[in-house]
Amino acid sequence: MGGDDSFGGRVAVISGGTQGLGLAVAGQLREGGASGLLLVGRDLAKAETAASELHTDTCRVVAHSADVGTVEGCESVIDRLDAAFGTCHGLVNCAARTDRGSVWDTAPELWDAMYFVNVRGPALLSQGVARIMAREGADGSIVNIGSTASHGGAPRLLAYSTSKSALVAMTRSLAFQLMRHRIRVNLLNPGWMDTPAEDATQREWEGAEDGWLAAAEAGQPWGKLIKPDEIANTVVHLLSPRSGMLSGAVIDWDQTVLGAGDLPRPAAELGPEVLP
């Protein structure tokens, strides 16, 4: 952002703010003039490292460890935000689970875990932040990070796709309810993105080995996966007053045009008749 003051004097909280997209957003907000940032992650050491690297004389950066998949974790985020800054102008709901599971093998426990982190967590954080914004009369902005998988997704993303689809309805409902308080709510649907979490996901769930990223990027229209800073540019724009009255928008950010071109057909899938 180059110190353009797009977020000048404002405070933001970022769940999943210790790595990947969340950390990229935090860095750009600092460069945009933020006066305060709360970085939320499950790993306190990682959060403290990120906070110390971003902290400056003009931007106070606070680390907070919480599991936003729990009610207590979400409440602790709001309490820490209020105690540390007493106000808020921006929330980015970036934390998410990306576990794999199809119609044949998604366990009830995975449905619960996916819902708690990917849907209930953003809902509770949005509730708490909106109350602070309204109390302080702050014109605020909430940005939910969805996924292009919300349109249906691959077969092994059943629970994940469903959770991200729920964010669409939640975004629009919140945007409508909070409009008179001048609190805007928008959702960004990134496509395939190059992040530490994606590398871990590919290795754990897809059996990927060293070199998978170069192979994946070779097949993309722009010759690369989306980089966190590219998505962060749009997130920061949505957070800042520069996006005006824009609210309730659902924006697909990917290297394709959904609905255009030949529709893919499902390949042969592992069915229940061959499951162990």
Strand ranges for the chain from DSSP E: 11-15, 36-41, 60-65, 90-93, 140-145, 183-190, 250-253
Residue pair 185/142 in contact (Cβ under 8 Å)? The answer is yes
Question: Which long-range contacts (C-beta less than 8 Å, at least 24 apart) are formed by 134-140?
Answer: 134/181, 134/183, 136/86, 136/87, 136/88, 138/87, 138/88, 138/89, 139/89, 139/182, 139/183, 139/241, 140/88, 140/89, 140/90, 140/91, 140/182, 140/183, 140/184
CATH code 3.40.50.720 for 11-191+226-250: yes
Amino acid at 21: L
pLDDT tens digits for the chain (276 residues)?
344 678 999 999 999 999 999 999 999 999 999 999 999 999 999 999 999 999 999 999 999 999 999 999 999 999 999 999 999 999 999 999 999 999 999 999 999 999 999 999 999 999 999 999 999 999 999 999 999 999 998 889 999 999 999 999 999 999 999 999 999 999 999 988 888 888 888 898 888 889 999 999 998 889 999 899 999 999 999 999 999 999 999 999 998 888 888 877 776 655 665 555
Report the distance separating Cα 144 and Cα 136, nearest Å.
22
Name the 3-class secondary structure at 53: helix
Question: pTM here?
Answer: 0.92
